[in-house]
Structure 1
Amino acid sequence: MSWQAWAVVAIIVVAMALFASEKLRIDLVALVVLAALVVLGIVSPAEALSGFSNEATVTVAAMFALSIGIERSGVLEPLSRLLIRIRRPWLLTLAFMLAIAPMGAFVKNIALVATFLPLALRVCQRTGTSPARVLMPMAYAAQMGGVCTLIGTSSNLLTDSLAQKYGLPAFGVFEFTGMGVLLAIAGMAYLMLVGRWLLPRHIDADELEEVEIGKYVTELALTAQSPLVGRSIGEAQLGERYGVYPLELLRGERRMWSPRSQQMEAGDVLLVRGDWGKIEDFQRRAHLHNVPESRYVRDADHPRVLTEIMVAPASLAEGRRLAETDLGRRPDAVVLAIHRRGQVLRDKLSDVSLAVGDVLLVLVDEDSMPQLRGDDAFIVLSERDDARRMSRKAIVAAAIMAGVVVVSGLHWLPIPVAAICGAAAMALTGCFGRKDVYEGMDWKIIVLLGAILPLGTAIEKTGLSHEVAQAGMGLVGNHGPLAALLMVYLLTALLTELMGHNPSVVLMVGIAASVAHAVHADSRPFVVAVAFAAATSFATPVGYPTNTMVYYAGGYRFTDFMKVGIPLIALFCALSMWLIPKFWPFHPG
């Protein structure tokens, strides 16, 4: 191989490590990859910028806008009110999957799961059902629905765009539907008949509240009347007496060097961790006051609500401190405590940089709850029932989305043009506000697509795709196109779990086309294998954003996804090896 090909290999390895480690945001990793390709002269500046004008990037942006219109206008409210009546756990799981999978074919998966996640948690709490029994199937169903249409997920659109670069005709909006529906039926049957026995049983609704989301970190200041004044933390035995655990002792801006032996003074701030009920009891008995709550702007005319919210995937709040977010700047809301799964925070709340999955305990005016629900940066996990009805705007939004699907499905307009027209129509009819579409847009995905697409060009220009295909064929041997198709599917599935669905598509479409050429078969079934393997990531909580959302909210372990997801991937792989050649023959007549 040439030095350029080896350089691309090195860039890919580093990118995979960064994607898997999550130490850098995915869009920043993509920009680093793009910069490296340009600096090394592997792609030209024009090729480097071509990803941002690519049809897939434009279409995904427009589809995000359409999903925001569907979500904000209340189209899903009638279905939510129907689901909340279900009491049987097995029926609840099935109902959520049957509701979400069809909508996942047209609505952004993250928006769907974010909408139904609070509802699922409330129903589970009312019925005594473990959320862990419901949330993972719900996330998987969103993916199963997304793969059923070309516009259901960004990786399908990306696959179609890259395939056209290799001379393949464009895929139709519903070309994946036949196979996608069969896989979805099989997947839901597996989850109901087999997966339900693999889902964790050790977590019930009460245990989840106490063990997972219940362990908050907050700041409590000592008053002059506190019995703790003049005593050390070690002497006070807070854990034994109150059930809360001190982390730090802060005096002004200083952290005390030896907090357990340092005598406490009035005005000192204790950073403590524990169940919120025990923290409140400790605060009352020890005459302390909550430091964040002292900054709350009280209004006697507006009742207050205590609610839990989670930092959403792709949230604008990720990586920012509270004061840098819209939530931190609001006078009618205050964050009282923070919980971070698998980590004990030891910083003042104002100094904590928020991460995806953080759960915040927020005190907010009841009148401000609708605004908090509409903030795409957070997902409200616990809230009062919402009595909204389906509005005229909801009907308009649903009609516009249906129009986009029909117009693009009948090839009256190209998909990007139809999606842009639909987004403009929603804006003109008031389905979302002037700022909603910009604030709710998943810009990280847009930048990721635009910046990572030139990597596919580099793989092709340097001959790396041909080299990888030849190496793969050496492993497969002379076992025909079906064995080669299996190799492409499994490699794509593995890369997806490591680095996400969109980067794996960029890497694999060119390789799939080269493999098809090597076995003298049509490229279309191999590209379809890439699309389906990339869009159905079940084995890890980091392979797909919906998995990440339920991972934090459901209290799952990493291995829970492996136990349930790996057999499901194997089932999808086996069925795909049977179905793909039937829908897209290796040697079309």
Structure 2
Amino acid sequence: MSFEIIFVFGLLGLALFLFATDYVSFDVAAIILLVCLLASGILTPEEGFSGASNPATITIAAMFAISEGLRRTGLLNKAGNFFCDKMEDRFWPWLLVMLLFVSFASSFMNNTAVIMIFIPVVIDIANRIGISPSKLLMPLSFAGIFGGISTLIGTSTNLLVSSIVEERGAAGFDMFDFSAMGLVFLGAGFIYMFLYGIKAIPSRRKEEESELTSEFEMAEYLTDLRVKSNSDLIGNVLDTGELTRELDLDVLRIFKSEHDSSAQRSEVKIQEDDLLRIRGSADEIEKLLRREDLAFQPPHEWMDTDLKHGRDALVEAAVAPESSLEGRKLSDIDFGERFGAVPLAIRHHGRLQQEKLGDVKLSGGDAMLLNMSKERIQDLNNDPAFVITSELDVLRPRTEKTPVVLTILALVVGIAALGLAPIVVTAPAGVIAMIITNCISTEEAYTAINWKIIMLLVGVLPLGTAIDKTGAGAMIAETMIILLQDFGPVAIMSGFYLLTTVITSIISTNASVALLAPIAVEVAGQIGVNTEPMVLAVSYAACLTFITPFGHHANTLIYGPGQYEFTDFTKIGLPLNLLFWILATLLIPVVWPL
């Protein structure tokens, strides 16, 4: 075994460690791998940076922007409101129609964007008809995943697999090559969810329409303090930072004594008997009261309206998966300056926390309760790092652009499907057309692109090249063949599906595909079978992962808002994964003969 092969195997181990842990974010991990390959001399600079010019990288970036253009038309919001009205009268038939619509939409745009829009819709539907939103959010996520695997552009994973196959001399996949098996998985998934899955999902989030203050258990963490006549605060504009220095407290609002129901901004001067509404634990409040110029007000039952005076709003927002906030402490983000908001509580990895919020390292799917200005909700909604789950219709839709956006999307898909131009040409052309026609601005297009995924591809794709170049891929392929050759090529394909399922429950879908698809191509070549069924097994298995809330970003999105426990996904997702493994083993060789 040469030094180069040993080095690549070491990098594979490092990759699995970095991608499976929170030691560094996955995009940084990918760049670490790239730097190691370049420094070792295994790859030339041209080979090392080939991931940046890879057709999959360019196409995926373009599809993020096109999806944003469609989102900003408000078309999906209108569809959500339509289903919301219909399901009040006939729930089950219209639930099926809505989930089919989500699957269809996810086939042609980023399914994260679809799920983001429908989360508040589904929560509102559940509250109206009196069932737990948890019962509907998981089916929503699964429906988006089912739809995403049905076309070349439905998920970045399909684009990545097609590019990997092309780089190794085989023909790439066309727009609807994924559709036959995709429809099988979609049909089986819907039957499973409606016969068993929905009934088995625990009712984690309350069934009735409830107060956000109650959902986040804020009763013991909200306090009104009255300014006494001897206070040195009187006559001055309140310096909240000075008042709460070294205390885990936030001053939310100041209520003037002469206006019983009006919340005033902190820029006003303090007067005697003004009320300070404060977030913090009883222990921290006790420390503040050592000043002796503030007095407790009689406690009362806290309602959302207590935090929604005047221009104030109470908003639930989830951290988007693979966003720039992942891994950062809450204290490192200036919510006041950035959004005019104060974090009140956070549901992190399924655990509710109201104290020491600044110490929490954010993860995708974390749900936060924010007290903020209504005028700044739009700023929060425009930030791709957050998904607002409690407010409907916060987007200012560009309805007049809907026909233009749909026409551009149809041309992008149609021209690629007919073979008149590859998707790597039509997708960027579609972005340019949207910018020229003012469907989206240049800034919105750049913001819509998930640069962490792009950097992941830039760093990980060269690792596949190194696996091929050093012969490490051939060694792995020979090992798999030795282990499974007695059972035939179908068993080898099935083994790839199962292996990908396991690895994708630990690391991201694109990372697992970038690592395993080149090996699948190598195995197909060594045993003399068609490449397509081997790599399709990898692609489908990477996308169709339901065992954990972190295996697919759609599941991560609904983790916090649904108030799920980690094991809820295993309970519902494991039988579904096993069902899809069996279907893939039986039917992929039929649709794509070995």
Shorter-normalised TM range: 0.7 to 0.9
Structure 2 counterparts to residues 417-456 of structure 1, below 5 A: 417-456=425-464
Aligned equivalents of 1:6, 1:441: Cα separation in 2: 36
1:113 aligned partner, one-letter code: I
Aligned equivalents of 2:244, 2:72: Cα separation in 1: 45
Q: Please state whether the residue corresponding to 1:24 is helix, strand or coil.
A: coil
Aligned equivalents of 2:61, 2:212: Cα separation in 1: 40
Q: 1:118 aligns with which of 117, 120, 131?
A: 120
Aligned equivalents of 2:535, 2:559: Cα separation in 1: 30
**1:143 matched to which residue of 2?**
145
**2:33 matched to which residue of 1?**
33
Aligned equivalents of 1:381, 1:491: Cα separation in 2: 35
Residue 254 of structure 1, CA deviation: 6.5
Note closer, same or farther for the CA distance 1:284–1:58 as it changes in structure 2 (3 Å cut).
farther
Aligned equivalents of 1:459, 1:283: Cα separation in 2: 67
Note closer, same or farther for the CA distance 1:49–1:261 as it changes in structure 2 (3 Å cut).
closer
Residue 477 of structure 1, CA deviation: 3.4
Most deviating of 153-162 and 567-576: 567-576
Q: Deviation per CA, 1:100-139: give whole Å up to 9, x if none.
A: 1111111101111101111111111121111121111111
**1:338 matched to which residue of 2?**
345
Contact 1:129 1:205 in 2 (8 A): yes
Q: Deviation per CA, 1:366-396: give whole Å up to 9, x if none.
A: 4544444333221111125669777121221
Q: 1:180 aligns with which of 172, 179, 182?
A: 182
Contact 2:248 2:356 in 1 (8 A): no
**2:255 matched to which residue of 1?**
none
Aligned equivalents of 1:89, 1:554: Cα separation in 2: 19
**1:413 matched to which residue of 2?**
421
**1:457 matched to which residue of 2?**
465
Aligned equivalents of 1:327, 1:399: Cα separation in 2: 39
Structure 2 counterparts to residues 490-529 of structure 1, below 5 A: 490-529=498-537
1:314 aligned partner, one-letter code: E
Q: Deviation per CA, 1:261-292: give whole Å up to 9, x if none.
A: 996453779xxxxxxxxxxxx985269x9xxx
TM-score, length-normalised on structure 1?
A: 0.83
Note closer, same or farther for the CA distance 1:384–1:166 as it changes in structure 2 (3 Å cut).
closer
Determine whether 1:61 maps to 2:82. Answer: no
Contact 1:218 1:338 in 2 (8 A): no
**1:559 matched to which residue of 2?**
567
Note closer, same or farther for the CA distance 1:522–1:391 as it changes in structure 2 (3 Å cut).
same
Contact 1:469 1:514 in 2 (8 A): yes
**2:157 matched to which residue of 1?**
155
Percent of aligned pairs sharing the same letter: 36
Aligned equivalents of 2:333, 2:467: Cα separation in 1: 39
Q: Deviation per CA, 1:28-58: give whole Å up to 9, x if none.
A: 1111111122222222222111100100000
Q: 1:253 aligns with which of 243, 246, 249?
A: 246
Contact 2:72 2:398 in 1 (8 A): no
Residue 189 of structure 1, CA deviation: 0.9
Structure 2 counterparts to residues 124-273 of structure 1, below 5 A: 124-201=126-203, 203-206=205-208, 213-215=215-217, 223=226, 225=228, 252-253=245-246, 264-266=287-289
Aligned equivalents of 2:343, 2:577: Cα separation in 1: 41
Residue 168 of structure 1, CA deviation: 0.8
TM-score, length-normalised on structure 2?
A: 0.83
Contact 1:75 1:395 in 2 (8 A): no
**2:298 matched to which residue of 1?**
285
**2:356 matched to which residue of 1?**
347
Note closer, same or farther for the CA distance 1:476–1:308 as it changes in structure 2 (3 Å cut).
same
Note closer, same or farther for the CA distance 1:188–1:283 as it changes in structure 2 (3 Å cut).
farther
Most deviating of 558-567 and 384-393: 384-393
Note closer, same or farther for the CA distance 1:49–1:373 as it changes in structure 2 (3 Å cut).
same
Most deviating of 381-390 and 533-542: 381-390
Aligned equivalents of 2:466, 2:296: Cα separation in 1: 60
Aligned equivalents of 1:418, 1:48: Cα separation in 2: 26
Most deviating of 167-176 and 197-206: 197-206
Q: Deviation per CA, 1:421-443: give whole Å up to 9, x if none.
A: 10011111111233211222211
Q: Deviation per CA, 1:145-197: give whole Å up to 9, x if none.
A: 11111111111111011101221112101111122112111111111112123
Aligned equivalents of 1:263, 1:209: Cα separation in 2: 27
Contact 2:247 2:284 in 1 (8 A): no
Aligned equivalents of 2:491, 2:57: Cα separation in 1: 32
Contact 2:66 2:431 in 1 (8 A): yes
Most deviating of 18-27 and 179-188: 18-27
1:99 aligned partner, one-letter code: F
Residue 69 of structure 1, CA deviation: 0.3
Q: Please state whether the residue corresponding to 1:382 is helix, strand or coil.
A: coil
Contact 2:204 2:564 in 1 (8 A): no
**1:241 matched to which residue of 2?**
none
Contact 1:252 1:268 in 2 (8 A): no
Aligned equivalents of 1:306, 1:579: Cα separation in 2: 50
Aligned equivalents of 1:261, 1:507: Cα separation in 2: 50
Aligned equivalents of 2:175, 2:83: Cα separation in 1: 29
1:111 aligned partner, one-letter code: A
Q: Please state whether the residue corresponding to 2:12 is helix, strand or coil.
A: helix
Contact 2:77 2:117 in 1 (8 A): no
Determine whether 1:14 maps to 2:14. Answer: yes
Note closer, same or farther for the CA distance 1:207–1:387 as it changes in structure 2 (3 Å cut).
closer
Note closer, same or farther for the CA distance 1:304–1:8 as it changes in structure 2 (3 Å cut).
same
Aligned equivalents of 1:120, 1:441: Cα separation in 2: 26
Contact 2:343 2:369 in 1 (8 A): yes
Aligned equivalents of 1:148, 1:569: Cα separation in 2: 17
Segments of 5+ residues of structure 2 without an aligned counterpart are: 230-242, 250-281
Q: Please state whether the residue corresponding to 2:506 is helix, strand or coil.
A: helix
Note closer, same or farther for the CA distance 1:198–1:56 as it changes in structure 2 (3 Å cut).
same
Determine whether 1:46 maps to 2:46. Answer: yes
**1:474 matched to which residue of 2?**
482
